[in-house]
Amino acid sequence: MDSTPHIAVVDDHRDIRDLVGKYLTKHGYRVSIAENAQALRRLLDRSAFDLIVLDIMMPGEDGLSLCRHVRSTTEIPVILLTAMTEETDRIIGLELGADDYLGKPFNPRELLARIKAVLRRVTSLPPQRGRSKARQLRFDRWSLDVGRRELIGADGVAVPLSTAEYRLLCAFLDHAGMVLSRDQLLDLTVGRTAELFDRSIDNQVSRLRKKIEVDPKTPALIKTHWGGGYCFSAEVAQA
């Protein structure tokens, strides 16, 4: 079986597709190209990919909508290509689960470097135990409905979770008992895109503790390992 990384390049501009496709092929990658969201969906049905390079501004279904679909159905890393200058648009892409972004116009060499970096990060992450693929997970006095993204307490009352809190909780449930560094948690939740999120993990952990811990000041579920990161100490079971 061919172990060469397989990259999907999605852009409605043929010159960009051809340029990126030829450049990545020259540097040893297998490449499939798609001109729009519909074409990528067809590729996903019949091929396995290691990474997707995805343009945001496309006619029909745009890249943000497609990124949301990819992230909800697969674990394939996504790098967004965007001509947008608004920081808010880049943040939206990251919140949807993109691993990195690159502004247009771009140097193919920089795109290649980002692809290599994302693939290295993905392969260096701790093994996932697949718990979050279950429909419902139980831990301590809580039940997480993964499909609905609802956290339900023992009293049956649902506790709202932000997208960031939900991703962080899923990362902990998938790696219960493991010490996860801040960098690993960043990779598992929003990807290692630079400065926008690099100081947010501690704040997200603090917010999540306030929702699931009996005493957030003395946490029993999410424990801090000084110099190491955090560890989710509760037993996790599929409902």
pLDDT band at residue 184 using 50, 70 and 90 as cut-offs: confident
Prediction pTM value: 0.61
pLDDT band at residue 197 using 50, 70 and 90 as cut-offs: very low
Tokens of 199: 């100081």
pLDDT of residue 2: 60
78-121 per-position pLDDT tens digit: 999 987 656 666 677 777 778 888 888 899 999 999 999 888 87
Pairing, β 6-10 against β 30-34? parallel
pLDDT of residue 97: 76
Closest CA to 79 of 146, 149, 24, 15: 24
Domain map of the chain by residue range?
6-124, 131-238
DSSP codes, 81-117:
EE----HHHHHHHHHTT-SEEEESS--HHHHHHHHHH
Q: What is the pLDDT averaged over residues 173-195?
A: 76
Q: What is the pLDDT averaged over residues 212-216?
A: 95
Rounded to the nearest integer, the mean pLDDT of the chain is 85
Q: What is the CATH number of domain 6-124?
A: 3.40.50.2300
Fold for domain 131-238?
Arc Repressor Mutant, subunit A (1.10.10)
Between the CA of residue 144 and those of 33, 68, 136, 211, what are the distances in Å?
Answer: 37, 21, 6, 13
120-137 per-position pLDDT tens digit: 877 766 555 555 555 789
Of the two residues 204 and 215, the one the predictor is more confident about is 215
pLDDT of residue 15: 94
Between the CA of residue 137 and those of 35, 179, 181, what are the distances in Å?
Answer: 39, 20, 23
pLDDT band at residue 196 using 50, 70 and 90 as cut-offs: very low
pLDDT at 236 over 70: yes
21-61 per-position pLDDT tens digit: 999 999 999 999 999 999 999 999 999 999 999 999 899 99
pLDDT of residue 150: 86
Closest CA to 45 of 8, 81, 3, 16: 8
